[in-house]
Amino acid sequence: MLPAQPNQSLISGLNVLQVLVSAGRPIGSRELATMLEMEHTRVNRLLGTLAFLGFAEKTAQRKYRPGPGVHVLAAQSLKGSRLLTAALPVLKELRDPKLTVALGVLWQGQVCFLFHARPWHTFEEAIGRHALWPAEKSSAGVVLLAHRPSDENLEGIARGNGTLAINFQRIRKQGYTQMVFPNGQVSLGVPIGSPPIAALAVSSAEFAAKDIPVVVKKLKDAAAQIQERMESPATDEPVPDMAILAGLEEL
């Protein structure tokens, strides 16, 4: 929901940063302005500010690419949320030569896959490799849409897929979603957390009807493990020396 007085400069700056990061190549300010339908001078000022902060840097060809600040922010974000750190050991256990395994979060009607592994991908290749994907075209996305606090902005999705909106209540009740794609792939997705912060999904062309309950239970157990790992105290933080703390309190 839009706040009463949104900061448009902040919104524009984040939009510029998001396009810069997702471009996958150095991009010129004029091209970026065209993509965002913004004034070129405004984009130039925003890019200059991002470069000053270290979130962008200019190449020799006078184009822009993500700066070191982006990598620092990414590392701090992953550490702060603990989602990927908690999920990776569980995802490794889910890997199977016949399965595609994915972990995704919902963002502006799209799914951002933090992990997306086809059977032929190595574990390392699966981390952060997938582009943003329309939420309604993914079981992870649909299960997250179904668990949103309200059904706002779902009308357009419902028009594109007439049964989707009708099924949201059923998806919430059963705790998972099932999608069948034209190529025969069956995809199953479950939420992680309550309220959900992410979704776990697997897909295969070899799922039979009798397999679904077993796979769903395995997914739900894996989601519970991820949530438990996220909520458990971090073990990599330095333990404070209580004697030193006691001495500081006396000062």
> pLDDT tens, 156-203?
554 455 445 557 888 999 999 999 998 889 999 999 998 999 999 999
In a shared domain, residues 59 and 107 = no
DSSP-derived letter for residue 205 is S
State the angle between helix axes of 83-94 and 212-231 in degrees (0 to 180), rounded to the nearest 10. 150
Give the lowest-confidence range in 1-15, 19-33, 139-153, 157-171. 157-171
In a shared domain, residues 96 and 204 = yes
Task: Provide mean pLDDT across the span 137-159.
Answer: 74
In a domain, 195, yes or no: yes
CB 119 within 8 A of CB 100: yes
Predicted local confidence at residue 234, as pLDDT: 66
Average pLDDT, the chain: 86
The structure tokens 């702060």 sit at: 80
In a domain, 108, yes or no: yes
In a shared domain, residues 67 and 94 = no
The confidence band for 245, taking pLDDT boundaries of 50, 70 and 90, is very low
In a domain, 148, yes or no: yes
Predicted local confidence at residue 150, as pLDDT: 61
In a shared domain, residues 31 and 59 = yes
In a domain, 170, yes or no: yes
Element spanning 202, H or E: strand 198-204
CB 172 within 8 A of CB 146: yes
In a shared domain, residues 51 and 144 = no
In a shared domain, residues 200 and 86 = yes
- The pTM of the full predicted model, rounded to 2 decimals, is 0.79
**What is the count of structural domains for the chain?**
2
In a shared domain, residues 124 and 34 = no
131 versus 199: which is more confidently predicted?
Answer: 199
Q: If DSSP states are collapsed to H, E and C, what string results for 22-89?
A: HCCCCECHHHHHHHHCCCHHHHHHHHHHHHHHCCEEECCCCCEEECHHHHHHHHHHHHHHCHHHHHHH
Residues of the chain above pLDDT 90, percent? 65
Quick one: tokens of 236?
């990599």
56: left (phi over 0), alpha (psi -120 to 50) or beta: beta
Domain extent, residue 12, equals 8-71
Predicted local confidence at residue 2, as pLDDT: 65
Centre a 10 Å sphere on the Cβ of residue 46 and count the other Cβ atoms it contains.
Answer: 24
